[in-house]
């Protein structure tokens, strides 16, 4: 039961870190209270009663004093907890967000994440899916929207939840404080494949982030080898292109993840499988057995078409 | 046996108790036979049916829980697919909340409250029967739909738009939404019964400050039901079901509706719901502790006022279910404070019980084992509740297994353990047989150990990022061992449940009949034989103490002059319970069943076509006409 890549206990983001501190501020006093209450109850079972003790009235008075004292103490402890909680809440609220934040729009879809790096200059907007790269040290503003049902954006190592709600826009912000890969997962039940709606957040140095950004801005790589060229043809002539976009080609579907730089990503199928040739082949051939009920159609492909297609998709760095 | 009549003047009169009992038996006995079963209106018959039916649904919900635990025992398990798993967790939550927890508490109250208050029946016996039939038909309706394939799969909360017409096809969600109407009508019927019974039918002399603590809990709970249940019917039936079946636009964002509105209305019910389940359990605790420490519960006024305060505050914290939706910060801070404030009122009650246990002589019956289990589990659940009231902590733990752990600690620890304790405590009264103490304690230990084994690891799983309502998870996230432990714990719980059932059945068949007051408890239900006769009290007692059976075990002061040839009861004043007048309760009747059947036909049809509501209204009206058809009164003696 050690913390994994999706644990809130191993915080690397500003919001998750202060929340982690708050967790212990709560857990320690509450655990002490728990132990005291249980101890009193257990002792009460085995306690020996003196037959000729103090008069009953006096005992009752003593009990009243104890109960009153405990109640007052409860109030004091709770007031203290409210104070630290509200001040932590302020520190991670939108109002406390520093300027110069990088705004990333995350759109929840059944069952994947569409990601856009917003920019006033439309030519600098980057679109990707199921993987978010962020520079360490720079505040990130997540602008959450939904294309269908309610989802919830959550990357425990970096930041708590924010629901993505159709017809609304929600926001939250964090700063990644340590490089690394952090897994996130949809936290609001969103239907059949809620369990397989994950994503990775890659926190990296500003320089590497900029390099990634520049690569993502470009159109897709042109197919070089004959196999890749054949694969692109397969992609464009089959149903794939109806749903997916590959910038630089005629594939312009809007309802499924943008595949322009598919090969640069860590996973496929919204964090379901590591991105490698074998998994991609399995996913394309039979997406419904890997993620039953998902919206990717099973496109019948001839055996001789599959390998060129995999070659082509593998070249989309 | 004879009873002396206490009258201000004249010598004590003697009268023939045997003759009175025979007359009362003729008057109060419900018809026999198969058809007679549908006529029953005595609160004991209805209460027992509620309890038994609810326990059957507990069994169903428990099996559903086990199926989920088997699926989650290992990562990437293929025991259940996503469709099945989503249906099963929806049915589990729905069954436990709507078909078990609330109805079982209602059933206990229907059985116990009139006896504890010293009256012969609830205030509106036919309404009581009607409420039970609505509940049964609602449960059958949901499970019949599920059996024919229309199983809801949008969660017990059915958030829109996922539950809306665009994303949930078939009739499953419609059945879910309409089932709520059935069960909430039933809950409202009982709430009205309990409130009126507690206010107006108490034994003479049982002023407000002498009401048993359990009855106070139920009174407060009844008012909460009356304010909370309409909200969920607005959410599920008016908004969601109409959006789905006739295309209204309340909560469907595709039509301009607001999904957050649904959440507000749902949780305006949903949070008080927790206390609706939990307050009766607190009443059980007080009654069991009192009987087994040989002293009155410490701090009666503090306990009552804390529960009244809980009843109010419970309506002010629904937003802590919605912190992640991004509401304005100032409002969130208010709801944090309100959510923590409820820990004060609950804390005071815990302290009062601790003081009672500390100063009393504890007798460790099986029921008391469950009380201590309650203290351990519920206090931990309450403390994690304090954590969840903090917005930053909630944003990390909301919709994770931390929350699953928290509310099972609160609901199982806070309601199920007290309920099981109550089951052992009142089993002799209800059945006339002593319950096996040894097996009772064994079942307690299995349930206690199994519970903590199942749910404690879930705290850690949640903090380690495991989200709720996922049918599987990858091995790489470090969740496998915690889940395996939880599944093993669930099996231990199941074993404890088996022991519990075996004990109940074996005790029923045993020949050890129960005395009227085996625990030497102070409240009035223990003054009559076990099981009590249909009419409860042959002579209604007059109460002059908070613990009437300790003050005067023979209950020598009684009411006389009540007629035996019709179902007559005494109505007393709200505050002082001074006798005011006698009134006559209606006789057993088939009409409440027929009215419930007619309305159920309409509700069942309504998920297919709106016009069935007219059918239901017509049939229901026919049933009500029969129900209220005036009969010539038996002439009143001068």
Lowest mean pLDDT among B182-191, B300-309, B510-519: B510-519
First to last CA, chain A: 36
In chain B, the residue whose alpha carbon lies closest to the alpha carbon of A169 is B326
Q: How far apart are CA B448 and CA B373, in angstroms?
A: 7
B343-368 average pLDDT score? 95
**Phi (first) and psi of residue A273, to 5 degrees:** -135, 145
Q: Which of B457, B445, B403 is nearest to B420 (CA)?
A: B445
Query: In the numeric block, which tokens belong to residue A209?
Result: 């982030």
Q: How far apart are CA A251 and CA B121, in angstroms?
A: 75
Cβ contact, residue pair B477, A4, below 8 Å: yes
> At residue B12, does pLDDT exceed 70?
no
Q: Would an 8 Å CB–CB cutoff place B13 in contact with chain A?
A: no
Cis before B621? omega within 30: no
B42-66 average pLDDT score? 97
- The answer to whether the CB of A259 falls within 8 A of the CB of A231 is no
> At residue B13, does pLDDT exceed 90?
no
- The answer to whether the CB of A199 falls within 8 A of the CB of A23 is no
Q: How far apart are CA A56 and CA A53, in angstroms?
A: 8
> At residue B628, does pLDDT exceed 60?
yes
Q: How far apart are CA A270 and CA A292, in angstroms?
A: 13
Chain A residues whose beta carbon lies within 8 Å of the beta carbon of residue B471:
195
Angle at which helices B591-606 and B125-147 pack, to 10 degrees? 40
Q: How far apart are CA B630 and CA B469, in angstroms?
A: 53
Q: Would an 8 Å CB–CB cutoff place B397 in contact with chain A?
A: yes
% of chain B with per-residue pLDDT over 90: 88
> At residue B3, does pLDDT exceed 60?
no
Q: How far apart are CA B302 and CA A182, in angstroms?
A: 50
In chain B, the residue whose alpha carbon lies closest to the alpha carbon of A154 is B396
Q: What is the pLDDT of residue B511?
A: 82
What average pLDDT is seen over chain B?
A: 93
Distances (CA, A) of A5 to A133, A181, B201, B467: 16, 7, 62, 14
Query: In the numeric block, which tokens belong to residue A199?
Result: 């994503």
Angle at which helices B172-200 and B591-606 pack, to 10 degrees? 150
Chain A residues whose beta carbon lies within 8 Å of the beta carbon of residue B352:
67
Q: Which of B111, B64, B63, B105 is nearest to B87 (CA)?
A: B64
Q: How far apart are CA B411 and CA A175, in angstroms?
A: 38
Q: What is the pLDDT of residue B332?
A: 78
Q: How far apart are CA B10 and CA B68, in angstroms?
A: 71
In chain A, the residue whose alpha carbon lies closest to the alpha carbon of B85 is A192
Q: Read off the pTM.
A: 0.95
Cβ contact, residue pair A40, B468, below 8 Å: no
- The answer to whether the CB of B569 falls within 8 A of the CB of B583 is yes
Q: CB contacts < 8 Å between A and B, how many?
A: 246
- The answer to whether the CB of B104 falls within 8 A of the CB of B51 is yes
Q: Would an 8 Å CB–CB cutoff place B261 in contact with chain A?
A: no
Q: What is the pLDDT of residue A48?
A: 76
Helix (H, G, I), strand (E, B) or coil at B583: strand
Q: Alpha-carbon Rg of chain A, whole angstroms?
A: 27
A223: CB partners within 8 A, 6+ apart: A229, A231, A232, A312, A315
% of chain B with per-residue pLDDT over 70: 97
**Sheet of A180-185, strand order:** A131-135, A198-204, A180-185
**Phi (first) and psi of residue A149, to 5 degrees:** -105, -175
Q: What is the pLDDT of residue B556?
A: 85
Q: Which of B271, B280, B206 is nearest to B232 (CA)?
A: B271
Q: How far apart are CA B154 and CA B143, in angstroms?
A: 16
> Which residues of B, range 474-493, sit inside 8 Å of A by Cβ?
476-479, 481-482
Q: What is the DSSP-derived secondary structure letter of residue B398?
A: T
> Is pLDDT larger for residue B176 or for residue B1?
B176
Among candidates A7, A38, A162 on the partner chain, residue whose Cβ is nearest the Cβ of B463:
A7
Q: Would an 8 Å CB–CB cutoff place B325 in contact with chain A?
A: yes
- The answer to whether the CB of B71 falls within 8 A of the CB of B77 is yes
Any bridge partners for residue A185, and if so which? A198
- Extract the runs of DSSP E, i.e. beta strands, from B492-633: 568-572, 579-584
> Which residues of A, range 171-200, sit inside 8 Å of B by Cβ?
171-172, 183, 185-195
Q: What is the pLDDT of residue B634?
A: 61
Q: Where are the alpha helices (DSSP H) in B82-212?
A: 82-94, 102-117, 125-147, 172-200
Q: How far apart are CA B205 and CA B208, in angstroms?
A: 9
How wide is the angle at C-alpha B125 spanned by C-alphas B120 and B128, nearest 5°? 125
Q: What is the pLDDT of residue B4?
A: 44
Query: pLDDT digit string (tens) for B145-172?
Result: 999 988 999 999 999 999 999 999 999 9
Lookup result for tokens 């469950």: B370
Q: How far apart are CA A288 and CA A283, in angstroms?
A: 8
> At residue B15, does pLDDT exceed 80?
no
Query: pLDDT digit string (tens) for A32-89?
Result: 999 999 999 999 998 877 665 566 777 889 999 999 999 999 999 999 999 999 999 9
In chain A, the residue whose alpha carbon lies closest to the alpha carbon of B327 is A170
Among candidates B254, B358, B394 on the partner chain, residue whose Cβ is nearest the Cβ of A44:
B358
**Phi (first) and psi of residue B216, to 5 degrees:** -60, -45
Highest mean pLDDT among B333-337, B536-540, B632-636: B536-540
Q: What is the pLDDT of residue B5?
A: 44
Shortest CA gap B615–chain A (Å): 34
In chain B, the residue whose alpha carbon lies closest to the alpha carbon of A51 is B361
Chain A residues whose beta carbon lies within 8 Å of the beta carbon of residue B369:
none
- The answer to whether the CB of B44 falls within 8 A of the CB of B531 is yes
Consecutive H or E run containing B444: helix B437-463
Shortest CA gap B90–chain A (Å): 11
Residues of chain A with pLDDT under 50: none
B19: CB partners within 8 A, 6+ apart: none
Chain B residues whose beta carbon lies within 8 Å of the beta carbon of residue A110:
167
Shortest CA gap B598–chain A (Å): 35
B212-229 average pLDDT score? 97
Angle at which helices B172-200 and B213-233 pack, to 10 degrees? 140
> Which residues of B, range 91-120, sit inside 8 Å of A by Cβ?
none
Q: What is the pLDDT of residue A170?
A: 95
Task: Give a three-class secondary structure readout of chain A.
Answer: CCCCCCCCCCCCEHHHHHHHHHHHHHHHHHHHHHHHHHHHHHHHHHCCCCCCCCCHHHHHHHHHHHHHHHHHHHHHHHHHHHHHHHHHHHHHCHHHCCCCCEEEEEEEECCEEEEEECCCCHHHCEEEECEEEEECCCEEEEEEEECCCCEEEEECCCEEEEEECCCCCEEEEEEECCCEEEEEECCCCCCCCHHHCEEEEEEECHHHHHHHHHHHHCCCCCCCCHHHHHHHHHHHHCCHHHHCECCCCCCECCCCCCCCCHHHCCEECCCCEECCHHHHHHHHHCHHHHCCCCCCCCCCCCHHHHHHHHHHHHCCC
Q: What is the pLDDT of residue B596?
A: 97
Q: Which of B221, B223, B144, B154 is nearest to B182 (CA)?
A: B144
- Categorize the per-residue pLDDT at B330 as very low, low, confident or very high, splitting at 50, 70 and 90: confident
DSSP letter string, B465-510: TPBSS-S---GGGS-HHHHHHHHHHHHHHHHHHHHHHHHHHHHHHS
- Categorize the per-residue pLDDT at B30 as very low, low, confident or very high, splitting at 50, 70 and 90: confident
How wide is the angle at C-alpha A135 spanned by C-alphas A129 and A141, nearest 5°? 65
Q: Would an 8 Å CB–CB cutoff place B579 in contact with chain A?
A: no
- Mutation pick from B374, B383, B393 vs chain A, by most beta carbons of A within 10 Å, is B393
Q: Would an 8 Å CB–CB cutoff place B340 in contact with chain A?
A: yes
């Amino acid at each position: 039961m050690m913390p994994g890549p999706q644990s809130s206990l191993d915080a690397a983001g500003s919001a998750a870190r202060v929340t982690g501190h708050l967790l212990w501020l709560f857990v320690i006093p509450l655990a002490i209270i728990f132990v005291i209450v249980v101890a009193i109850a257990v002792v009460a079972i085995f306690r020996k009663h003196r037959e000729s003790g103090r008069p009953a009235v006096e005992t009752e008075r003593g009990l009243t004093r104890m109960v009153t004292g405990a109640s007052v103490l409860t109030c004091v402890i709770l007031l203290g907890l409210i104070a630290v909680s509200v001040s932590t809440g302020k520190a991670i609220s939108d109002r406390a967000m520093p300027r110069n934040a990088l705004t990333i729009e995350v759109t929840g879809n059944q069952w994947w994440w569409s990601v856009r790096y917003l920019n006033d200059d439309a030519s600098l907007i980057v679109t990707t899916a199921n993987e978010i790269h962020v520079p360490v040290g720079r505040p990130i503003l997540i602008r959450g929207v939904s294309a269908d049902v309610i989802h919830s954006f959550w990357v425990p190592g970096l930041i708590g939840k924010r629901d993505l709600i159709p017809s609304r826009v929600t926001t939250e912000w964090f700063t990644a404080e340590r490089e690394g890969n952090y897994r996130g997962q949809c936290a609001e039940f969103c239907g059949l494949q809620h369990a397989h709606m994950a994503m990775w957040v890659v926190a990296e140095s500003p320089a590497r982030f900029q390099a990634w950004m520049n690569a993502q801005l470009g159109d897709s790589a042109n197919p070089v080898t004959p196999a890749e060229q054949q694969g692109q043809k397969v992609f464009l002539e089959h149903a794939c292109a109806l749903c997916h976009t590959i910038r630089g080609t005629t594939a312009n579907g809007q309802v499924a993840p943008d595949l322009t730089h598919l090969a640069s990503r860590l996973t496929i199928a919204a964090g379901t499988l590591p991105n490698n040739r074998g998994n991609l082949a399995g996913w394309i051939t039979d997406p419904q057995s890997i993620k039953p009920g998902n919206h990717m159609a099973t496109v019948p492909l001839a055996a001789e078409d599959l390998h060129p297609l995999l070659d082509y998709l593998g070249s989309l760095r | 046996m004879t009873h002396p009549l206490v009258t201000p003047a004249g010598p004590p009169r003697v009268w023939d108790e045997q003759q009175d009992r025979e007359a009362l038996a003729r008057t109060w006995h419900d018809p026999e036979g198969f058809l007679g079963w549908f006529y029953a209106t005595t609160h004991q018959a209805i209460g027992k049916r509620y309890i038994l039916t609810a326990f059957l649904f507990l069994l169903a919900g428990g099996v559903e829980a086990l199926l989920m635990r088997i699926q989650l025992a290992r990562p990437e398990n293929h025991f259940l697919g996503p469709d099945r798993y989503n249906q099963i967790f929806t049915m589990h939550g729905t069954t436990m909340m709507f078909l078990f927890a609330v109805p079982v508490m209602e059933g206990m109250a229907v059985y116990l409250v009139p006896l504890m208050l010293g009256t012969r029946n609830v205030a509106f016996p036919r309404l009581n029967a009607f409420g039970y039939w609505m509940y049964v038909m609602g449960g059958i309706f949901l499970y019949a739909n599920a059996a024919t394939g229309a199983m809801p799969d949008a969660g017990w909360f059915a958030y829109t738009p996922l539950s809306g017409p665009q994303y949930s096809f078939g009739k499953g969600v419609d059945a879910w939404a309409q089932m709520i109407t059935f069960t909430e009508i039933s809950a409202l019927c009982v709430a009205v019964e309990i409130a009126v019974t507690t206010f107006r039918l108490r034994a003479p002399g049982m002023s407000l400050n002498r009401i048993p603590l359990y009855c106070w809990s139920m009174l407060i709970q009844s008012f909460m039901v009356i304010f909370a249940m309409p909200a969920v019917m607005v959410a599920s039936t008016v908004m969601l079901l109409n959006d789905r079946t006739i295309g209204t636009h309340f909560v469907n964002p595709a039509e301009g509706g607001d999904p957050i509105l649904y959440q507000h209305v749902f949780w305006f019910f949903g949070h008080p719901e927790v206390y609706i389940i939990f307050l009766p359990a607190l009443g059980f605790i007080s009654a069991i502790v009192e009987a087994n420490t040989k002293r009155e519960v410490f701090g009666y006024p503090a306990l009552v006022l804390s529960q009244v305060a809980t009843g109010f505050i419970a309506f002010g914290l629904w937003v802590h279910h919605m912190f992640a939706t991004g509401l304005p910060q100032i409002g969130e801070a208010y709801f944090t404070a309100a959510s923590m404030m409820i820990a004060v009122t609950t804390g005071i009650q815990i302290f009062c019980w601790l003081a009672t246990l500390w100063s009393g002589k504890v007798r460790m019956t099986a029921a008391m084992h469950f009380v201590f289990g309650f203290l351990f589990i519920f206090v931990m659940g309450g403390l994690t509740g304090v954590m969840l009231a903090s917005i930053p902590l909630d944003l990390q733990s909301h919709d994770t297994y931390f929350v699953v752990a928290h509310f099972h600690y609160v609901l199982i620890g806070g309601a199920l353990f007290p309920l099981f304790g109550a089951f052992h405590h009142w089993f002799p009264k209800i059945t006339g047989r002593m319950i096996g103490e040894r097996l009772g304690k064994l079942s307690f230990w299995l349930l206690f150990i199994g519970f903590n084994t199942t749910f404690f690891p879930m705290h850690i799983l949640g903090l380690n990022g495991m989200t709720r309502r996922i049918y599987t998870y990858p091995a790489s996230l470090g969740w496998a061992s915690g889940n395996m432990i939880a599944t093993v714990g669930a099996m231990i719980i199941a074993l404890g449940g088996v022991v519990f059932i075996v004990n109940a059945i074996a005790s029923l068949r045993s020949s050890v009949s129960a005395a009227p007051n085996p625990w030497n408890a102070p409240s009035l239900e223990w003054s009559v034989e076990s099981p009590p006769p249909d009419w409860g009290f042959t002579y209604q007692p007059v109460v002059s103490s908070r613990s009437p059976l300790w003050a005067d075990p023979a209950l020598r002061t009684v009411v006389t002059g009540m007629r035996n040839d019709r179902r007559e009861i005494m109505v007393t004043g709200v505050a002082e319970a001074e006798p005011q007048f006698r009134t006559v309760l209606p006789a057993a009747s088939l009409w409440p069943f027929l009215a419930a059947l007619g309305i159920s036909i309409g509700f069942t049809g309504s998920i297919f076509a709106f016009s069935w509501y007219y059918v239901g209204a017509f049939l229901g009206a026919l049933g009500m006409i029969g129900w209220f058809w005036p009969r010539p009164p038996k002439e009143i003696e001068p």
